[in-house]
Amino acid sequence: MTEGLPADTIRCDACPVLCYIKLGQTGACDRYGNFNGQLVRVDPHILLDRAKSQGTPLVPFLEREGEWDGKLLKSTETFVTAIGAGTTYPDYKPAPFIVSSEVDGVDLVTVVTEGIFSYCGVKLKIDTDRHLGPERNFVRAQGEPVGHVTTAEYGSQMLSLGGVHHLTGGSKSEGRVTCETLLDLCNGKEVALTIDEGARIIVAAGKPPIVNGQQEERMRVGCGSATIGMFAKQWFGKVDEVVVVDDHITGVLSEHQAGKMLGLRETGIAIAGRRSTPGRYFQVAQPGTGWGGTNISDPLTILKPFKHKFAWPHLRLLMVSTTGEQFAYYELDDALRPIEKELPQQLQDSVARIRENCEPALTTVLFMAGAGGSLRAGATENPVKLTDSVKRSITRVTCGGAPSYVWPGGGITFLVDVSRLPENAFGYVPTPALVAPIEFTLKKSDYASLGGHMDYVRPLADVLREKQRQRQLTSLPENPWPLDPAAENDPGK
Amino acid sequence: MRDPATIRLLPDGRRLHLNDGPIDLIVAADGAIENICRAYEAAAARFVTILDELCGELPLLRSRVGQNSPLPNGLIALRMFTAVAPYCHRCFITPMAAVAGAVAETVLAAMTRAAPLTRAYVNNGGDIAVHLAPNQTYTIGMVECPENPSLFGSVEISEALPIRGVATSGWRGRSFSLGIADAVTVLAATAAEADAAATIIANAVDLPGHRAIQRIPARQISPDSDLLDLPVTRAVGLLSRQEIEQALQAGLSVAQELCSQDLIQAAALCLDEHTRVVTHPQERTSMEIIRRSLLHA
C-alpha cells in the first residue's frame, strides 16, 4: 500500500488503525494529522464561549446532540483559542489565525497559534511532608531521567520536569519518555515517577499525590512548633505534655513559649534531636514517609528517658504529627515509662481540629515554555516588538484562553496552570517537543504599530463562519475573560 | 505511542463517553441507578477490545463485498457484512459502510444483556442504536452538519415501531460520500442497517458530472480509504432550485425502493436547506420537518 505514495505521507501509530496520512490531511479519527511531514494532534479548533453564569460546566458543543437551543453566538462572547489552530513552524509565516473583534468600542486583535516548544517543561508542586528524595536527584519515568528534585516549599516538594536537555539532549528514549510524561501531566493524566534514592509517586494535576502507594490527604497547617502555638490553649488542662512530630521543627508544649505562657509545669521530657530554641527541635529523625515527614513509625523512638527529677507517674502525653494523621497517647507508669493508652475523647477533638485545618493535598502542574523567534515572527514582522509589548502589558498572553504569567526579562517565557485549560489542550510532535496553544491579544492600533501582519487580520465573524473542525466550549468560570479590558493577567488572581 | 481508550462520564455526570482511536461513543441509559451502572460497566468492558477486533481483519473489511466474498470472523464484522450485503449487487460497497452502526448496536447489546433498562442509546458519531422497553419512546433531533448543529427536523421512535437504529450520512460528515446530500437520516431495524442504507441513499443524492461539484479520488486524500479511487465529494457550489430538486429526487427514488424492500423504515434527505421525507407504507413513522421548505414526497 505504501508504493506510489508521496514521500511526505506518514503512518500514524496512535491507534491500531495505523492510517497513512498525506501531507495536510488527518487520519480516520480526525485527531491526528500530517503537518509538514510530522504527526501532530489536530483536535477540533477550540473556541471558548463565555460562561453566562458562574459554574457553567465545560461541555463540548458537539456532544449536546439534539439539545441545541438555537442560540447564535455574539461575537464578543467568543474567544478563538489556539487549541487545534495549527502552527507557524517551521517557516516564518503569519500565524494561522489573526482575529479582530470589537469589545466595548475598542478594536482588539488576537494572534492565535499553536507553538511547538522544545524549550518547555513542567513545575510540579506536590503537597506532602513526606520525603520524596534528596534535592537535585533525578526524577524518572519508565526508568528514564525526565527531571529532578528541586526545592522544598511550605508543606510541599517541588519537582522540575522536562526542559530541552531531557527532551533533546539525551538518548532518543529519554526524549520520547520525557515528552510523553510532560504531555500526560499537561493533559491532566496520571503519571508514575520514581526519584533516585527516594519515593515512588503517582501524580496528576489537581489530584492528591500518591507517595509509595499511600495517597496524601492533607497539607500540614504549620511546622511542629507552629502547631503547638496554634493549639496550646485547646490542650491546656486536658494533657500534661504534647509533642508535635515534624521533619522540620518538632514542637514540645511544656518547653514552648506558648506552654510557658499558660504556666505549664516542666515534665522532664527529653527529645532525641538538635534543640533550636526552647520547645523547638531540628532533626529528631531522618526524613521519610512516616510521622510528620520523618522516617519513624514509632514516635517513642524520638524520646529519651524522662528525667526523674521532673516527671511523675500518670503524666499524660500526646504525640501527634503535623497533619494530625498520626497520633498516640501515653501515660507514664510508676517507673516513668510511657505506656500507650486509648486517646481520651477530650483530646480526640484537638487531633481532629489539626486534621481539619490542613488543606487537601494536591499536585499542581504549571507548564513553562518560551515562545521562540519563529513563533513571535508569526505575530509580527519584528519579533522583538512583540516581546516588548508583552513586557509593557500592552499585549496579553493567554494559553488556550487561560491566564499566563510572563516571566520578567528577555524573551516570552510564560507559566500557566494546566488545570485552567480546556481538556486535552496539549499535543506533541515526535521531534520530540510539546505543542501548546498561545494567544496574543492587543489593541488593533497597537498591533499595527508593532509591525503586525495587518493583511491577515480577519474579523471574528469570518472565522466563526468556518464551522468545520471547530468546537465551542464554555470558558472556565475561574478564568478571567481573555478579551475583558478589566481582566487581570495575573494567574494568581 | 498508542493512546489508551478513554472511558469517562461526560460533565453532566449522566452520559458515558467512550473513545478509542476513530471510535467515539456517547452512551446514555434510563432505568434504576444500579442497572445503569451495570449497563455502563458492561458497555466499557465490551468497548475496550472493539478496535483491536476490527483492526484484526481490517483489510477484509475494507474490501468490496461481492457474491463470493469470504465472511469475516468477528461478530461486529459479521454485523457489518450482513448490513451491506443487500447492496453488493447494485454498487461498490464495503463492510466499512456499516462500521459505526455495527459498533453502536454491539455496545448497546452488551448493556441490555447486563441489566434491564427502560431506555438506552449508543450514539457513534450520529449513527445511533436505541433500546426501548414497552411503551417507551425517544425523540431524536436531526441536523445537517454535525460541526454546525442546526435542527432540520425531529423524529419520534416508539417501542411499537420496528426501528432500533438511526444513522446519518452526508458529504460534510467525517466519512467520504459519493453524493452531495448535506445529510440523509435513515430509520431502520438496526443501527448497522441504517448506517449502510444512509450511505447508499446519500450517494444517490447527486448530479453526475455537474461542474459546481468538486470530486477527488478517495485515495488522494486518504491513502488507505476503502473507496479506492472512487471520486468523493469535496465541495458543492451553487445549485439552482431545479438542480436541488433533481438531486433529491434521485435519492428519493432509491430511498423509496429500500422502503418497499423493508430495508429501511423511513428516510429524511437534506440538500441545501431543502428536505424531503420517505416513510414505509405500512408504518406510522412520522418524521417532523420543522424548518424551511418542506417538499412532500
A25 contacts chain B (CB < 8 A): yes
pLDDT along chain A (493 residues), means of 10: 71 85 83 80 62 34 31 48 57 58 71 84 93 96 96 93 93 90 95 96 95 85 88 93 94 94 93 91 88 91 95 96 92 95 92 87 96 77 86 88 90 94 84 86 86 80 65 75 59 40
Cβ <8 Å between B224 and A467: no
Cβ of A234: how many Cβ atoms within 10 Å?
Answer: 15
Q: What are phi and psi of A289, to 5 degrees?
A: -110, 20
Query: What pLDDT sits at residue A488?
Result: 45
Beta bridge partners of A326: none
Q: Using a CB cutoff of 8 Å and minimum separation of 24, what contacts does A407-412 make?
A: A411/A370, A411/A371, A411/A387, A412/A370, A412/A371, A412/A376, A412/A386, A412/A387
Task: Write the pLDDT tens digit of every residue in B234-274.
Answer: 888 888 889 999 999 999 999 999 999 999 999 999 898 78
Which of A14, A67, A469 comes nearest B147 by C-beta? A469
* Residues whose CB is less than 8 angstroms from the CB of residue A226 and which lie 6 or more positions away in sequence, other chains included: A249, A251
CA count, 13 A, side-chain hemisphere, A417 = 16
**Mapping DSSP to helix (H, G, I), strand (E, B) and coil, where does residue A432 land?**
coil
Q: With an 8 Å Cβ cutoff, is A57 touching chain B?
A: yes
pLDDT at position A444 is: 85
Q: What is the pLDDT of residue B263?
A: 95
Burial A455-489, CB ≥16 within 10 A → b, else e: eebeebeebbeeeeebbbbbbbeebbbbbeeebeb
- Classified as helix, coil or strand, A51 is coil
Distance CA B186, CA B247 (A): 17
Contact status of A468 with chain B (Cβ, < 8 Å): yes
Which residue from B11, B26, B52 is facing A57, i.e. has the nearest CB?
A: B11
Residue to mutate among B49, B51, B224, with most A CBs inside 10 A, is B224
The pairing of beta strand A78-80 with beta strand A45-49: antiparallel
Please give the mean pLDDT across all residues of chain B: 88
Note the pLDDT tens digit of each residue in A93-102: 556 567 766 6
C-alpha cell at A232: 496550646
Show residues of chain B in contact with A19, CB under 8 Å.
Answer: 222, 224
Cross-strand partners of A340: A330
CA distance A368 to A366: 6
Grid cell locating B260? 418497499
Instruction: State the ipTM, two decimals.
Output: 0.82
List of chain B residues whose C-beta atoms are within 8 Å of the C-beta of residue A180: 1
Q: How far apart are CA B269 and CA B210, in angstroms?
A: 19
B interface with A, Cβ–Cβ < 8 A, is 1-3, 10-12, 15, 17, 20-22, 24, 26, 51-52, 55, 58, 123, 126, 139-141, 143, 145-151, 154, 172, 174, 220-224
- Is A132 in contact with A187 (CB distance < 8 Å)? no
In the prediction, which pLDDT does A5 show? 76
| Amino acid identity for residue A20 in this structure | Y
Burial A335-348 (b: 16+ CB within 10 A, else e): ebebeeeeeeeebe
DSSP state string for chain B: -PPPPEEEE-TTSSSEEEEETTEEEEEEEES-HHHHHHHHHHHHHHHTTHHHHHHHTHHHHTSPP-TTPPPPSSHHHHHHHHHHGGGTTTS---GGGGHHHHHHHHHHHHHHHHS--SEEEEEETTEEEEEE-TT-EEEEEEES-TTS--EEEEEEEETTSS--EEEEE-TTSSS--SS--SEEEEEESSHHHHHHHHHHHHHHS--TT-TTEEEEEHHHH-TT-TTTTPEEEEEE----HHHHHHHHHHHHHHHHHHHHTTS-SEEEEEETTEEEEEE-TT----EEE-SSEEE--
Cβ atoms of residues B87 and B186 within 8 Å? no
Q: How far is A19 from chain B (nearest CA, A)?
A: 7
Asked whether B55 and B83 are in contact (CB, 8 A), the reply is: no
A72 close contact with B: CB closer than 8 A: no
* Chain B interface disruption, residue of A39, A65, A71, most B CBs within 10 A: A65
Per-residue pLDDT band at B30 (split at 50, 70, 90)? very high
Q: Which residue has the cell 528525667?
A: A307
What confidence tens digit (pLDDT) does each residue in A450-481 have? 888 887 787 777 777 665 556 677 777 778 77
CA distances to A41, A170, B106 from A428, rounded to whole Å, are: 7, 18, 33
CA distance B24 to A42: 16
* Mean predicted confidence (pLDDT) in B168-187: 88
CB-CB under 8 Å, A57 with B147: no
User: pLDDT value at position A227?
Assistant: 92
Contact (Cβ atoms closer than 8 angstroms) between residue A1 and residue B224? yes
Encoded amino acid at B74, one letter: G
Q: Which residue has the cell 491513502?
A: B223
- Cβ neighbourhood burial of A357 (10 Å; 0-12, 13-18, 19+): middle
Domain boundaries, chain B: 6-295
**Quick one: A54 exposed, middle or buried, by C-beta within 10 A (0-12, 13-18, 19+)?**
exposed
Q: Which amino acid is at A356?
A: E
Residue A26 is classified by DSSP as: B
DSSP state of A343: P
Q: Do B141 and A5 touch (CB under 8 A)?
A: no
- Whether residue B205 contacts residue B250, with contact meaning beta carbons closer than 8 Å, is answered with yes
Output the nine-digit C-alpha cell for A300: 517513642
Q: Are strands B6-9 and B16-20 parallel, antiparallel or unpaired?
A: antiparallel
| Side-chain-facing half-sphere of A23: CA atoms under 13 Å | 6
A:B CB pairs within 8 Å? 97
CB contact under 8 A, A180 and B20: no
pLDDT of residue A470: 66
Domain boundaries, chain A: 43-118+372-474, 120-219, 224-356
Non-local CB neighbours of A443 within 8 Å, separated by 6+ positions: A106, A107, A108, A109, A394
Cβ atoms of A123 and A205 closer than 8 Å: no
Residue A237: C-alpha distances to residues A232, A259, A316 (Å): 10, 11, 10
Answer whether A14 sits within 8 Å of B2, measured CB to CB: yes
For residue A30, give the amino acid letter: D
Please give the DSSP secondary-structure letter assigned to residue A473.
Answer: E
CATH number for the region B6-295 comes to 3.10.520.10
**B22 vs A15: CA distance, rounded Å:** 8
Contact across the interface for A9 and B223, Cβ inside 8 Å: yes
Binding-face residues of A in 164-183 toward B, CB within 8 A: 176, 180
DSSP per-residue letters across A226-265: HHHHHHHHHHTTT-SEEEEE-SS-EEETTTSHHHHHTTPP
Q: At B145, is the pLDDT very low, low, confident or very high (cuts 50, 70, 90)?
A: low
Measured distance CA(B245)–CA(B224) in Å, rounded: 34
Instruction: Provide the 8-state DSSP code for A407.
Output: P
